[in-house]
Amino acid sequence: MFPVVLNLAGRLVVVVGGGAVGTRKAAAAALAGATVRIVDPVAVGVNVITEAYHPKHLDGAFLVFASATSTVNAQVVSDAKARGILVNSATDPEGGDFTLPSVVRSGELTLAISTGGAAPALARRLREKFEAEFDSTFAAWVRVLSDVRTVVLSEMPDSERRRELLDGFADWPWLARLRAEGAEAVKAAMLAVVRPG
C-alpha cells in the first residue's frame, strides 16, 4: 500500500450504504471538504438518494466507498474500477483500491496508523495510545509553526538558514516551552530568533 493524504475539497465522494460504516465514512469525507452523495434505499438525510444502487450513482465521483452488503459492494467495486474511480470496499478491503488507516487528529496534525489489514485491533490500540499523547498542545504548535513558517519563507532569503530555522522550531524543546508559556509567547520567541535585534 502507498500512504497518501488526499485533498477532497470540492470533490464528489459517493458512499453506497447509509448504515453505521457508511455514515462514518461520509462524515469523514464531509469533514475533509468533500461533497458527499449517499446512496441507500432506506436511509434518510441530506444528499441521500433513496433508491437501490445503480452505476449512474457514480457519475462525477472522485472517490467511492462501498459500505453496503457484500453483493452490492462487489458491484460497486466493479463499476467504479471500470470507470477509473478509486474505490474502498467495507466487505472486501483487498478487492478495492485502498483501505483506511486508523487516524489521530489534533488540529492540522494528522497521524495515520495502518497494519496493512493484518492487525486492525493493533491499529486501534495504537490510535488510542497516540490520541492520549498527541493532545491539543500539538495542534497549537502546528498553528504556531505554520504562522512562523510564513514569515521565515517571506523574510529569509538564505535557503540554508530557512531550513535551519524551521527545523529548529520543530524540535521538542519548543513543545516543552509551549506547554509552559503558551502559544503566543512561543510564537513571539520564534519570531525574535527570525528577526534578531
Does pLDDT of 196 surpass 80? yes
pLDDT given at position 120: 84
Amino acid identity of 23? Answer: T
Does pLDDT of 117 surpass 80? no
C-alpha cell at 34: 468533500
Q: Supply the pTM of this predicted model.
A: 0.80
| β-sheet bridge partners, residue 64 | 14, 87
Does pLDDT of 116 surpass 90? no
- Grid look-up 478487492 returns 95
pLDDT given at position 197: 77
Q: What is the DSSP letter of 97?
A: S
Q: What is the DSSP letter of 58?
A: G
* Residues whose CB falls within 8 Å of the CB of residue 136, separated by 6 or more in sequence, listed in order: 106, 107
For residues 185 and 42, give the distance between their C-alpha atoms in angstroms, rounded to a whole number. Answer: 53
Rounded mean pLDDT, 42-59: 93
Q: How many C-beta neighbours within 10 Å does residue 44 have?
A: 9
- Class for the domain spanning 12-100: alpha beta
C-alpha cell at 170: 520543530
Buried residues in 114-145 as b, exposed as e (16+ CB within 10 A)? beeeeeeeebeebbeeeeeebeebbbbbbebb
